[in-house]
Structure 1
Amino acid sequence: MSDSADHTMEAEPLKNHQEEMGGPNGRGCTGKVGVSKLSGWRTAAFLLSMFICLGVVFAFSFILPCPVRPQYEPTWNLTVPAAVTYDFLAIGDANKDKVLDVFLIYKSSEGLKNHTCIGEGLSSPCLFILAVDGTDGKLLWETPLVAEFDWAECGVGGAKGKEGNLCVVAHAGYLTTTDIHTGKILSSSLVSNSNPPVISLPDLNNDKTTDFAVLASATELVFFSGKSGDMIGSKVDVGVASREMKSHLQFSTVSEAQYLLLHTVRGLYAVSLGRLAAKPRSGLDSNLKSEKSWEQRADSEGFITLYDSAPLQSVLKVRGGYSSSSPSLLLQTNSTVMLFDTQKLSITWTTNTSKLISTPSFGQFNKNGVPDIVLEEDQGNDTKRVVIVDGQEGSVLWEVFLPFHFNYPQPASVLSLNYYSVFMLWGDTHTHTDNMSSEVEDHSSYLLHPLHSDVLLERRNPAQHIITSKALLLERGRHACYLVLSGEDGAQNKGAGLDRMQPVVLTKRKIKEDVSESSVIGVGGAGRLGGDVSGQAESVKEAFYRLRFSDQTQ
């Protein structure tokens, strides 16, 4: 019996506990009512919480809908009739939709938004700076200015760490600043013989925006507010005779010390921007840092000699790759290209070149994190050699010989998420068909995939008189495309009448849209076109379709 009782206790412990409490089935009336009330309160709380959750969900779904992503047009065109344009294309977010828009300048008697030069009190023809929506090519704003055009730069000024809010235009002896979002003219200062590029500076006048300066008359540094565009302080002489100055460039060292590089007939020199901005005559306070290793080489006037050997033709800044934050300088003479290490202050490598026909450009070919250099050399007989040089060692990584007899845009590239770039080259058309007009056949753009370097994708491009081109991502991490600006070059047609000029056309094309329209051309071992591509066409095009692009600096 004891075994049976023990078994009952083990199998139904709650039953025996309830029987000890008394009442029917061992449960008291008081206990049953208490449990019922508790269950009711729990049910009510559950239903109330569900009602509140559903209310929040519906509120956010209908009252605060999710933002709509911009709808891109794969390709679009903007046409300006009877005008000339210039070698200028800039990008920035004009309408604050987080998609890059396009800025260009043309000269005409009237604009696209019912502006006329005469109506604006300007001599005709005049300049028009305009902003174009990057998603669909529609005009955002347009501002008329007095001609003639010298240079322009957008994305200047603004709060530290944010996109610049000004476009700076040098024209007819003036420096005019316009608001990048509205096109409204903020200021116009008489600054003769100013030279690009704009020099970015910290907040010198306590208006909570980064300021800027330009080099005027080749030797004077003129300071401006990054908020209003007005001149601030006084002009400062950089200490180089105007007849010796060739160009200038702003440079930031690894420690973020800011220097002004001066390319002169005697060589390449540097002077601290902090030293210039803090000169008593400027009337400005500067907290710009200096680089100790550089300053140790400065003379009594503050000039630092970087290079003074063979005469330099150009100086370019090489951005650091994804594995390096230390920028370098690319120095070009009439027979060599050299990489200058800005930490060791010495030449890293030198490679021989023939006559270069375009400004060197950069991209990632071999995925080592160091930007590689794209050079174009004139080989004579309407042929150019395009060569990609290893940015780390200076050796040749790839080459091709392309037909050309026009002034084409320089090579461009877009970085992929795989840490190599897709390169775009320009030249005459290599392949021909009987039903293509000679006008269309003349131009082609070529795409190079580093993992398929034995072929090129060639697309015939009908654009005539190409002034400039740019490859970019319109949105962060998305929509790799290229822009082509074609028409008559205003810099070469200053006195010509505009009534008989061809239209100015700005075209945007998505890079992947070109793949299906392209022919696959083999690149032989010696860089000659026409190698065997049997069986490769579909696999190469598929490799382009699979690409995902990155907006990381390359």
Structure 2
Amino acid sequence: MLDHKDLEAEIHPLKNEERKSQENLGNPSKNEDNVKSAPPQSRLSRCRAAAFFLSLFLCLFVVFVVSFVIPCPDRPASQRMWRIDYSAAVIYDFLAVDDINGDRIQDVLFLYKNTNSSNNFSRSCVDEAAVSGANGSTLWERPVAQDVALVECAVPQPRGSEAPSACILVGRPSSFIAVNLFTGETLWNHSSSFSGNASILSPLLQVPDVDGDGAPDLLVLTQEREEVSGHLYSGSTGHQIG
């Protein structure tokens, strides 16, 4: 059953609306509070919109500056394919890559022996060469030994040394050489201690720093008849330490 007020509201809906409007007019403080509370919300929304568009503008400005205003570093012209021919040359089973000239392109290191040279010294020696990975131009080239048994590149050197990295070569007969990876200059050159009849086993091993000079040391394994021996050398000086 509906009470008297609900029944009257259903019969006279317009009177009910008029009553609500009169109640609102009779309470002006409530209306003023609603009016006063509206502006801060609108100001907050405007501040948020302004912050959004400002951050968007800053992002677009940074992208524009990085893309169009700041010039990209010059890089050497890189060819898709290049080729180098060495006539009458013996190629060794060695190939290494590293960024030698600092152009952020991997360069190539390899060994070869030229058997068709008028220079007797070059004819009897193995050459190590570094060529650019971008266009195949020669970065450096030098003779290293009469023959090469083992080679290991990218061997770290101690801080403050002439080169941060080196190529270590074990040559025949009895040579032990370190070459600057970036210039081809000789860092040190010693005679090896193993006998000439011993067979040099691969690979050339890098072991933890034994002598505490800041560079990994080198272990060379040799075999003479049935006996296998290990020879430990300093990675920074080439001197035998064990």
Aligned-pair CA distance for 1:165: 4.3
Equivalent residue in structure 1 for 2:234, among 206, 218, 225: 225
Residue in structure 2 matched with residue 45 of structure 1 by the alignment: 51
1:199 to 1:22, Cα distance in 2 relative to 1, 3 A: closer
Sort the Cα spacing of 1:217 and 1:43 in 2 relative to 1 into closer, same or farther, 3 A: closer
Distance 1:33 1:199 in 2: 77
Deviation at 1:27, TM superposition (A): 5.7
State the match for 1:518 in structure 2.
none
Q: What is the CA-CA distance between 1:229 and the residue it aligns to?
A: 4.8
Decide whether the 8 Å contact of 2:177 with 2:186 is kept in 1: yes
Contact (CA 8 Å) 1:200, 1:213: kept in 2 or not?
yes
Residue 201 (str. 1) matches residue 207 (str. 2): yes
SS in 1 for 2:182: coil
CA distance in 2, matches of 1:224, 1:64: 48
**What is the distance in 1 between the residues matched to 2:122 and 2:113?**
13
Cα distance in 2, alignment partners of residues 139 and 168 from structure 1: 20
Q: TM-score, normalised by structure 1?
A: 0.30
User: In 1, are the aligned partners of 2:207 and 2:218 still within 8 Å (CA)?
Assistant: yes
Q: Pick one of 85, 94, 97 that aligns with 2:90.
A: 85
Gaps of 5+ in 1: 9-14, 111-115, 234-281, 283-554
Which residue does 2:184 correspond to in 1?
183
Q: Distance in 2 between matches of 1:167 and 1:50?
A: 55
C-alpha contact (below 8 Å) 1:224/1:232 kept by paired residues: yes
User: Which amino acid in structure 2 is aligned with residue 205 of structure 1?
Assistant: D
Partner letter of residue 174 of structure 1? S
> Could you say which structure has the larger radius of gyration?
2
CA distance in 1, matches of 2:170, 2:61: 53
1:414-437 alpha-carbon deviations (Å, 9 max, x no partner): xxxxxxxxxxxxxxxxxxxxxxxx
Query: Secondary structure at the residue paired with 2:85?
Result: strand
**Counterpart contact for 1:201–1:210, Cα < 8 Å:** yes
1:213–1:223 CA contact under 8 A, matched in 2: yes
Contact 1:157-1:211 at 8 Å conserved across structures = no
Q: Kindly, what percent of the aligned residue pairs are identical?
A: 23
1:94–1:180: 8 Å Cα contact kept in structure 2? Answer: no
| Maintained 8 Å contact 1:157/1:212 | no
In 2, the alpha carbon distance for the partners of 1:190 and 1:20 equals: 104
Instruction: Go from structure 1 to structure 2 and tell me whether the alpha carbon gap of 1:71 and 1:40 turns closer, same or farther (over 3 Å shift).
Output: same
Is the strand fraction higher in 1 or 2? 1
CA drift of 1:124 comes to: 5.0
Residue aligning to 1:157: 155
Written as runs of structure 1 = structure 2, the 5 A alignment for 1:383-532 is none
Q: How far did residue 45 of structure 1 move? A: 1.9
Which string of whole-angstrom CA distances, capped at 9 and with x for unpartnered residues, describes residues 493-533 of structure 1?
xxxxxxxxxxxxxxxxxxxxxxxxxxxxxxxxxxxxxxxxx
1:148 equivalent in structure 2: 146
Aligned partners of 2:152 and 2:96: how far apart in 1?
7
Does the CA contact (< 8 Å) of 1:88 and 1:152 recur in 2?
no
The match for 1:104 is 111
Structure 2 vs 1, CA of residues 53 and 201 (structure 1 numbering), >3 Å: closer, same or farther? same
**Cα contact 1:154–1:180 (8 A) shared by 2:** no
What per-residue deviation string (whole Å, max 9, x for no partner) do you get for residues 362-405 of structure 1? xxxxxxxxxxxxxxxxxxxxxxxxxxxxxxxxxxxxxxxxxxxx
SS in 1 for 2:62: helix
Q: Could you say which structure has the greater relative contact order, defined with CA pairs below 8 angstroms and 6 or more residues apart?
A: 1
Report the number of matched residues.
Answer: 204
Per the alignment, do residues 190 and 216 of structure 1 end up closer, same or farther by CA in structure 2, a change over 3 Å counting? farther
Structure 1 Cα separation of the partners of residues 154 and 234 of structure 2: 10
Which digits, 9 at most, give the CA deviation of each residue in 1:83-139, with x for residues without a partner?
5324333223243646462412223798xxxxx97xxxx945444210233454332
Q: Distance in 2 between matches of 1:98 and 1:204?
A: 34
Aligned equivalents of 1:143, 1:124: Cα separation in 2: 9
> Is the CA contact 2:89–2:116 (under 8 Å) kept in the aligned structure 1?
no
Q: Select 1:211's aligned residue among 199, 205, 217.
A: 217
- The 3 A distance-change label for structure 1 pair 32 and 217 is closer
C-alpha distance 34-220 of structure 1, shift in aligned 2 (>3 A): closer
- Aligned letter for 2:142? T
Per the alignment, in what secondary structure is the counterpart of residue 182 of structure 1? coil
Question: What is the Cα deviation at residue 73 of structure 1?
Answer: 2.8
SS at the partner of 2:84?
strand
Structure 1: distance between partners of 2:218 and 2:58: 54
| Structure with the bigger percentage of helix | 2
1:164-313 map, 5 Å:
165-191=166-192, 193=196, 195-197=200-202, 198-215=204-221, 218=224, 221-226=230-235, 228-233=236-241, 282=242
What's the CA shift for 1:31?
4.3
